[in-house]
Structure 1
Amino acid sequence: MRIAIVGGGYVGLVTGACFAELGHTVNIIEIDAKKAATINAGRAPIYEQGLDAILKKYVGERLNAGIDYAPVADADLSFVCVGTPPAADGSADLSMVAAASRSIGEALRDGERPHTVVVKSTVPPGTTAGTVVPAVLEHAGRDDIGFAMNPEFLREGRAVEDFLHPDRIVIGSRDGRSGDTVAAAYQGLAAPVVRCGLTAAEMIKYASNALLATKISFSNEVGNVCKRLGIDVYEVMEGVGMDHRVSPHFLAAGAGFGGSCFPKDVAALVSLAESLGEEPKLLQSVLDVNDRQPLRMVGLLEERIGDLLGKRVAVLGLAFKGNTDDIRESRAIPVIAELLRRGAAVAAYDPLAAAPMRRVFPGIDYAASAADALRGADACLVMTEWPEFSDLNGAFDLMNSRVIIEGRRILTCDGKEGICW
C-alpha cells in the first residue's frame, strides 16, 4: 500500500517507519524542512529505541520525508499524526488537525483514486466526524473519500516495540470499506482488531489513558498513607496487583506521571466532560493528586535537612521517564522550580534530557555525570528511573550528607528513602 503520514513528530515518525517495516511505501509530510532532512538522512530527530535502525534500512527506498502534500494524491491512506497540545483551559488545541485536514482535502481535489483519511492524533470524541470529515470534503470537492480513526497506544522508549507487537488495534470507521482498508495496512501483526465507530475509537484512547493515570494517582495516594503508617506501598501493591481484575501494571507509586499523553489527555477529557454539563470529580482528582505529588519530595527534603537556602541539591533524572529525552510534563520540572524558589542550588544530571531541560532552567548546574552532580551535594532527589542510577552506590559517598530521596523505585543503595515508601 501507499501511505502518507501527515506529521513527522513522535507518533508520525514511528508510525511511518513501522509501516515501512511492514512493507508499505511511506511518505512523511513534515512542515519543518530541517526535520524532514534529518529523517531523509536516516536519523531520527527524537530518541526512540530501534527507530534509527529502521530509518537507515528504508529511507530512500520505501520511506521518504518532504514538506508538501503531493504524496497524498497517490496514497491509499493518509494518517493525520499532528500534535494536539493543551489550550489554556485544558481543552485540546485542534488547530493543527484542522489545518492538516484542509491540506489533505486540497491534495485530493478532483482526484479519482480511492482514498481513506485516518486520524491517529489523540483528539476529543467527536473530532473526526465534526472537524476532519467536513474540512476534508469541503476542500476536496468530492464525497467518495473514506474516513477512519485509529488511535495509537505507544509508550515512549518502547514505541517501535509497541507498534509491531500491539495489545490491540482499534479501528473506528464511518463505513466498512474504510475500516477494511486500515485493517489491511496492519496485516502481518498478531493482535486482535477492535472495530467500532469514529467517536467510540476516540473515546477508547482517552479512556485508556485516563484509567492508567487514575491507577498511578490512586497508588500515590495509598502510598502517602503507607508512608505515615511506616509500611512499604510496593508490598501493598504487589498484593493488590495479583488480583486478575486489577493487574500489577501502573500501580508503581512515586512522583507522579508526566509525558505528552497522560496529563494532556486527562485534562482534555475533563474539559470535554464539563462542556457536556458533567462534573468529572474523579478525573479532576487524578490531576490534583499528580500536581501535588512531586512537591511532597521537596517538603520531605526540608524535613530532613532543614532550610534549603544555599543547600546544594543533586537532581538525578530530568526526562519524564527512562529511555527517552522527552521532558514534557516531567515531574522534575515542578521539583526544580520549587527548589529554586526555596533558594537551593541545583545540580542536575540526565543521560539524555539535559539539553531540552536547559531551555527551561538555563541557570542551574548541569553535570556531565551522576557522580559530578552528587559531589559535594547536601541531598539528592532521584526523579527518573534510569537503570544506571541503580548502580550508583559508591557515588553517593561523594555527597556532603547522605540524604537520598527517590521518586522512582530504582535505587539499591543503603540509606535511601522513598517519597511514599
Structure 2
Amino acid sequence: MFAKLLSARLVLAAAALAGVLTSGLATPSTALAQIPYLQMNAAEPKYAAIVIDANSGEMLYDKRADSPRYPASVTKVMTLYLTFEALSEGRLKLTDRVSFSPHAAAQAPTKLGLRPGDSISVDEAIRAMTVKSANDVAVAMAERLGGSEGRFAALMTLRGQELGMRNSRFVNASGLPDSRQISTARDLAILSRATMRDFPQYYSYFSITGFTFRGNYIRGHNRLLSSMPGFDGLKTGYTTASGFNLAGSAVRDGHRLIAVVLGGSSTAWRDNNMEDLLTTGFDVLKRRSHGERTTIAANLYEDEPNGPIMRPSTEEGDGDQAGLKIVLTDNPAPPAPLKLSPSLRAAQQSAAKTTKPAKGEWGVQVGAFKSKGLAREQLSLVRSRFAKFVADAEGAVEGAAGGSFRAQFQGLTAEAARGACRAISAKRQPCLILAPDRG
C-alpha cells in the first residue's frame, strides 16, 4: 500500500536502499552509524554555517559545514519538499484535506492543537508548517503521504540521499527531539537549493510572515523576512541541543545566495549572523565582478556564540532536547551505492550489442533535475571539470516518473566509478555510485 503512494522513481530508490526501510527507525544507516553523536565534545561549539551561490552551487563560505548537527525544525523543509513534489505530480491538491490522527494530535508544541479526527486543507497545512512550524501538522502530512510517520521519514532519508544530502538521516517529519535525526549545514543548503530549484511555484510559501486560521492571526517568527531587504525564506528551528538554526536565502542585484546557520546562542545572534553572511556574500560577488579576488571569510568578523543557549519564546518552540548529547566530528562515510534499475541495465546491455563494448556496467549519477536541459548542462559541466575521470564514460539523461531527469555517466568499471565519485565529491558536487543490478 505504501508503494502506491509513491512515484515510480521513489519506489525504485526505496527498493535499491531496502535496508533503510526494513530497519525503519531502529538502526541508522551504515554511514551514519559511524557517527558517535551521543557523546559530548564540550571543546567544540555547536555553531556551523555555509553560504552557497544558488545558481551555480558554488560554496562561498563554510564553517564546520560537514559536521553533524541536529536540524530541529529546519527538518520541515524536507517534509515540505515531498509535499511540493506530491502537488507537482498530481498526487495531492491544495484543496485536499489532511486529517489528524491521535499520533499527530499528540505532538509537542509548537502546534495548531487540533483534535484527532479534525482536518485542514493542504494549503493551510503548508502555511502552518512554514509560518508556525506546527509539529502536529508535519506529522499529519507525513501520514497523509506515507501512511505512517516512520515510513515517511525513511522516504525523507532516501530522497535526501538522491538530492546529494550525504550525511543526513531523518526519523521524524517535524524535527522534534530524537538523537538519531542529524544533518549538516551543507546538506541543508543542498535541500534549500533543491526546493527552490525544483518547485519555484511553491517557494513563496516560505516568504509568508503570518496567516489567518479559523479567525485567529498566526504570526511567524522568521524576523529577517521583515527586516532584511531581499530575504525571502526559508525556515527557522530550535531545540536545546541544536541551538538556534536558520536556513535562509536572499536576492540582491539579480543574484541569489543561500546560507545556513546552525547552533546560534540566541534568536538575535542567529539572525545577525545570517544577515552578516548574506550581506558580505553579496558584497564579495560584486567585488569579484570588478576583478577583485576576495572571499567572505576574509571580510567577515567571526564572533562565534560561546555563551549559554538562551530559551526561545513560545513562538519559536520546537520542543526541548536538553537530554540529548552530540559530538561534532569530521565527515561521515558516503552512503552505500545505489543499484541500477533493471530497465536501465537492460538498455545498457542492448546498446552494448550494437555499439562498441562498454568498459563496465557501473555508473555515477551527478544530479537529478526537473528538465532535460538542466540535466544535460550538468553532464557538460561535470565532463569539462572532471574529464580525467569520465572521458570514456557515456553521458545519459534518464527520465523517471514524476518529471525528474537524472544526469548519469554510464559504462564505467567499479574502480573507475568509485574514483570518479571520489573526485567529484571532493569538489562538493553531488555524486552517487550506480552499481549493476545482479538480481
Q: Please classify the TM superposition score into its range, dividing by the shorter chain length.
A: under 0.3
TM-score by length of 1: 0.27
TM-score by length of 2: 0.26
Q: Which has the higher strand share?
A: 2
Q: Which has the larger radius of gyration?
A: 1
Higher relative contact order structure (alpha carbons within 8 Å, sequence separation ≥ 6): 2
Q: Which has the higher helix share?
A: 1
